[in-house]
Structure 1
Amino acid sequence: MLAILVSEYGLLFIGVTVLVLLSGLWIKKYQVLGTAAGIITVALLLLPIVKAYNVGTNLKADIDRAFLFCGKPAKTFSSAFKPFTFSKLFQKDPQSAFQTLKYVSYPDTSLTLDYYKSNATGKRPCIVVIHGGSWSSGDSRQLPELNAMLSQSGYQVASINYRLAPRWKSPAPVQDVKAALTYLRKHAGQLQIDTGKIILLGRSAGAQIALLAAYTVKQQGIKGVIDFYGPADMVWGYSVPAPKLIMDSRGVMANYLDGYYPKVPQNYAGSSPIRYVSVQSVPTLIIHGGNDVLVAYEHSRRLSEKLKQNGVPHYWLQLPWATHGFDHHLNGPGGQLSTFAVQQFLRQIL
């Protein structure tokens, strides 16, 4: 959370630093050293904003080019907002009401989803959102701001709960996604869903679930998948664990995959989305921060390369300064760019 605050709420720290710098006008001791340190601090805190401008310069054209043949020609689309604007850093994140619906009952538990109704009339495309939390925590209320923005942009949004480790193991969450899709199809008339236009979106562990479902669940209507900093290669991820002081990543994976890799290697291979990429795979948007210490940047590079080898339309939004969960602040530098990328991806695909 501290890393997210520094990189996405940098203006707050810049304000504090400027106040400290101004105090140096009256406090003479260590004045030169303190001023130099303050100026360096402000420059470092401004880096995400400067880099966001640079990344956003050609973002629309790059995304349109990546998905040019997936829907209508790119030239027919005009963006309602720019990829990044300084003034938006001061805006509040959007909010919307939702209703909670039970979508499946198992002998030992029931699962619900939060449904954000589109502000547009008629049957609309549906975005199925899958939360993160190391497969063992989190819920459908995680980072709801993007759900609100998407519903206000004309999409139906279903943010789902799924069965969590260690009580339930893989592939239980993918089965839950499939159950959610079945429920949404069954109630498409009541919920005003266009069942021919469904997108899966996941964050972190939820992105692994979203990717795996998108590449393996054989249901018509799944048009694409959005991967926010997800582990795409579980075998490689086990071989290069996160620092123990940050997270016991091997233990987290063992809880989800019913054991450590040497014991159940087939579970790791079977839960790696990268293993299921083929020429038939759906268009994919990948979003990842270069300073992510929980899910290695390499996961996204490997997935992007595999998609490229199979000719699958995809785009990898690389945010060199961003850390895990950077989209916690939807109007921060990373949040603005990722939101724009999601919106532009949806326009092209749907």
Structure 2
Amino acid sequence: MPNKVYSLKAKLSSHLNVARQVYRDFRLYDLGSYALNRLTPKAGYNVEKHLAYGLKARQRFDLYRTAQPLTHRPLIVFVHGGAWMHGDKRDYQFIGEAFAREGYDVVIPNYHLAPEYIFPHYVDDLHLLLDYLQASSHRLQISVENIVLMGHSAGAFNVMSAVYYPKQHKSERLANIRAIIGLAGPYHFDYKDDPLCADAFDQSVPYQQVMPLYFVQPQPVKHYLFIAEKDTIVGHFNSHDLDRVLKQHGNHSHVISIPKLGHITIVGSLSSLFSRFFPTKSKVLWALEDAFK
């Protein structure tokens, strides 16, 4: 019995240490993203903020339009991370700028957060957004013929789950999605009593009934799974397991490892201020070009 108690305490202590580290990382990232956004160039794109895609307060998005005079511009929908409990679209202006200046229109939405809202609410928000963009493309002056879903961390889970989902889809919802780009995404993990995100899921529902890995079907969508080499939050097995299952179903999948970066810094490295020092943005741009071959 003493050994079991000691083992339980050690495990709990380990979980708490991880939770504290993530909390510190997110707080530091909030400060970092604030600084990034303050220094982000304002030329080369236009932005409309706080557009509604639903009736609730968190169902809002920012739209970054490229200033490049292109027709049928691809549309990136970027979903932020934050363990499904934290994060806001306002912190990701640097993402909108980074890709709008490259010729893409970019949508960055908010979505409902835990613990008040749990799975599948935040994925349902993304479905609602996609339906809204499809119905409102003319008024918004965007093209929805070529959509790329991109997300970081929990946002990567959301975009993958938008396609591989326990419920049946409207066929038109997925018709124009050309690619999914996941940055450090958790696609295959047991959230039971997880110190970071247990409150984002119904603990009575087994993870096999939720994780997108278990709902993969043959799709023409191209998948680009980014791994941060120094990630201590999301295990690399998430991307490797999903890559294996995608290929088993005949789907396109490509795993891309970014050296020297961690779970938070991989998304920060997309900023125009830092992208010259890290390969993340160039690899994402390669994936975007590859997706439309």
Which residue of 2 is the match for residue 103 of structure 1? 53
Task: Tell me the CA shift for residue 321 of structure 1.
Answer: 2.3
Which residue of 2 is the match for residue 59 of structure 1? none
Matches within 5 A, 1:30-45: none
Unaligned runs of 5+ in 2: 1-23, 29-38
CA contact (8 A) 1:322 1:334 kept: no
Give the distance between the partners of 2:246 and 2:65, measured in 1 at CA. Answer: 33
Which residue of 1 is the match for residue 154 of structure 2? 205
Matches within 5 A, 1:224-263: 224-235=179-190, 238=191, 250-259=194-203, 263=204
User: Percent identity, aligned pairs only?
Assistant: 29
Give the distance between the partners of 1:325 and 1:344, measured in 2 at CA. Answer: 21
Give the distance between the partners of 2:249 and 2:139, measured in 1 at CA. Answer: 38
Give the distance between the partners of 1:251 and 1:172, measured in 2 at CA. Answer: 20
Which residue of 2 is the match for residue 60 of structure 1? none
Which residue of 1 is the match for residue 131 of structure 2? 182
Q: Give the 3-state SS of the residue equivalent to 2:103 in structure 1.
A: coil
Match of 1:144 among 83, 93, 106: 93
Task: Say which is worse superposed, 209-218 or 162-171, in terms of deviation.
Answer: 209-218
Q: Give the 3-state SS of the residue equivalent to 2:186 in structure 1.
A: coil
Give the distance between the partners of 1:98 and 1:195, measured in 2 at CA. Answer: 18
CA contact (8 A) 1:277 1:310 kept: yes
Give the distance between the partners of 1:196 and 1:97, measured in 2 at CA. Answer: 21
Which residue of 2 is the match for residue 315 of structure 1? 254
Give the distance between the partners of 1:94 and 1:300, measured in 2 at CA. Answer: 33
Task: Tell me the CA shift for residue 103 of structure 1.
Answer: 1.1
Matched positions, count = 246
- Max Rg structure: 1
CA contact (8 A) 1:104 1:112 kept: yes
Task: Say which is worse superposed, 160-169 or 316-325, in terms of deviation.
Answer: 316-325
1:278 corresponds to 2:220 = no
Which residue of 2 is the match for residue 119 of structure 1? 67
Which residue of 1 is the match for residue 176 of structure 2? 221
CA contact (8 A) 1:207 1:226 kept: yes
Q: Give the 3-state SS of the residue equivalent to 1:285 in structure 2.
A: strand
1:264 corresponds to 2:205 = yes
- Seen in structure 2, the aligned counterparts of structure 1 residues 178 and 335 have a Cα distance that, compared at 3 Å, is farther
CA contact (8 A) 1:214 1:224 kept: no
The CA RMSD over aligned residues, in Å, is: 2.6
Which residue of 1 is the match for residue 268 of structure 2? 328
- Seen in structure 2, the aligned counterparts of structure 1 residues 322 and 278 have a Cα distance that, compared at 3 Å, is same
Unaligned runs of 5+ in 1: 6-91, 240-248
Give the distance between the partners of 1:187 and 1:193, measured in 2 at CA. Answer: 9
CA contact (8 A) 2:229 2:258 kept: yes
Give 2:52's aligned amino acid: K
Which residue of 2 is the match for residue 74 of structure 1? none
Question: Which structure has more RCO (C-alpha within 8 Å, separation ≥ 6)?
Answer: 1
Give the distance between the partners of 1:333 and 1:120, measured in 2 at CA. Answer: 21
